[in-house]
Amino acid sequence: MVGKFYGIGVGPGDPELITVKAVNILKNIDVVVCPEGKKDTESIAFNIAKDYLSDDMQTLKLHFPMTYNENTLNEKWKENAQIIADVLRSGKNIAFLTLGDPSVYSTYMYLLPFLRERDIDIETIPGITSFCASASRVNIPLASGDETLCILPLRRGLDGLDEILDNFDNIVIMKPSHDNKKLADKINERKLNDNFVMISKCSNNEEEISHSVGRLRDQQVPYLSTVIIKKGGIR
């Protein structure tokens, strides 16, 4: 029998913030994809999941190049999809682990079109996003009633952020370390100092919660941070 391919969201960091469904599937996974050449979010995902995996689980190292060249990427995705298809044909189930949720800015989703071309049986298991975990951690709503919520990764130069700050009630900024100094200045400029919180490494041992613009301006803002801005107030 041909195996099945699972994309599994393992949540933000605390191994308990994974779903019962993910745990039940992980028990029966034969092979876990370990992407190489990427930021280490996938190895963090592996550490979250490892106690749920069976002892005889194997890893499949796949090279995912750090490039924006689309042709190079497509070639590599195709090659990796073929390797995955071959392992599935040998009857093994494969998991691709994703920090947070697979539908929110994950590498996993780039791979899917190449797997679909090969008629692979795919199931995606949702996970707790960093922004939901962060809001829960400080007991605040991301959005209430008729309010809108905007989620965006921080772009260098804060492209488009002013318009979003004008028009939205609640804004989640992912990857603030991309340009945290400019973001801190913008929060100052727009007098939002009492309207934001930054949560880094949410729900793991090194978690940090800060309401300080000075901290946000700091060089050492971790990659795994989330900024929540609530124009109606945060505390």
CA distance 142 to 131: 8
Site string for a copy of itself, 119-138 (x = CB under 8 A): ---x-xxxxxx--xx-xxx-
Q: Which CB atom, from 87 or from 124, has the smaller least distance to a copy of itself?
A: 124
Q: Which CB atom, from 146 or from 206, has the smaller least distance to a copy of itself?
A: 146
- Using the structure block, give the residue that is written with the tokens 């370390």: 177
CA distance 59 to 197: 38
Residue span binding a copy of itself (CB under 8 A) among the ranges 32-40, 80-88, 116-124, 184-192:
116-124
CA torsion, ordered 225, 220, 98, 147, to nearest 10 deg: 10
- Using the structure block, give the residue that is written with the tokens 């994809």: 33
* Binding residues among 9-68 for a copy of itself as defined by CB under 8 A: 9, 11, 14-21, 23-24
Least Å distance, CB 134 to a copy of itself, is 9
Q: Which CB atom, from 205 or from 220, has the smaller least distance to a copy of itself?
A: 205
Alpha-carbon dihedral sign for residues 87, 89, 95, 98: positive
CA distance 114 to 74: 9
If one asks whether residue 91 binds a copy of itself (CB under 8 A), the answer comes out as no
Pairing of strands 122-125, 196-200: unpaired
Take residue 88 and report the two structure tokens written for it: 């599935």
Q: Which CB atom, from 61 or from 194, has the smaller least distance to a copy of itself?
A: 194
SS3 string, 64-90, reads CCCCCCHHHHHHHHHHHHHHHHHHHHC
Site string for a copy of itself, 157-196 (x = CB under 8 A): ---x--xx--xx----------------------------
Q: Which CB atom, from 21 or from 63, has the smaller least distance to a copy of itself?
A: 21
Q: Which CB atom, from 62 or from 98, has the smaller least distance to a copy of itself?
A: 98
If one asks whether residue 102 binds a copy of itself (CB under 8 A), the answer comes out as yes
If one asks whether residue 109 binds a copy of itself (CB under 8 A), the answer comes out as yes
For 94, the 3-state DSSP assignment is strand
- At residue 173, what are phi and psi to the nearest 5 degrees? -110, 115
Residues making contact with a copy of itself (CB under 8 A): 7, 9, 11, 14-21, 23-24, 101-106, 109-110, 112, 116, 122, 124-129, 132-133, 135-137, 139-146, 148-153, 155, 160, 163-164, 167-168
